[in-house]
Amino acid sequence: MPLWIFPAVFAIAIVATMIAGIWLLLHLTALAYRFAGRFDIVPSPKRPQASRCAVHIALATFAGGLLVTLTMQVLAMTGVASAWLH
């Protein structure tokens, strides 16, 4: 595997996670509607600005990016990633 692939995938995962997280923070009313009735969350009486599909996509992107980032961190700390680069 070329040397540039590991940091490139890591950077893409971090940027995707950050963008999805910021989007979710900017659309908290839509996120509250997604989790309404659970975890003592009460949505605002204001109508959400984003659709449920957009919230699900953002949640999936955030979770997937976080999973990839954490997996790559573990691989780098254990030394497995350096074995792939040779």
From first to last of its 86 residues, the chain has per-residue pLDDT tens of 677 888 899 999 999 999 999 999 999 888 888 877 777 777 777 887 888 899 999 999 999 999 999 999 998 888 887 776 66
- 16 in Cβ contact with 72 (< 8 Å): no
Q: What is the pLDDT at residue 44?
A: 72
Number of domains, the chain: 1
In terms of residue numbers, what domain contains 20?
A: 5-84
Cα separation, 17 vs 39, whole angstroms: 23
- 62 in Cβ contact with 24 (< 8 Å): yes
Q: What is the pLDDT at residue 1?
A: 67
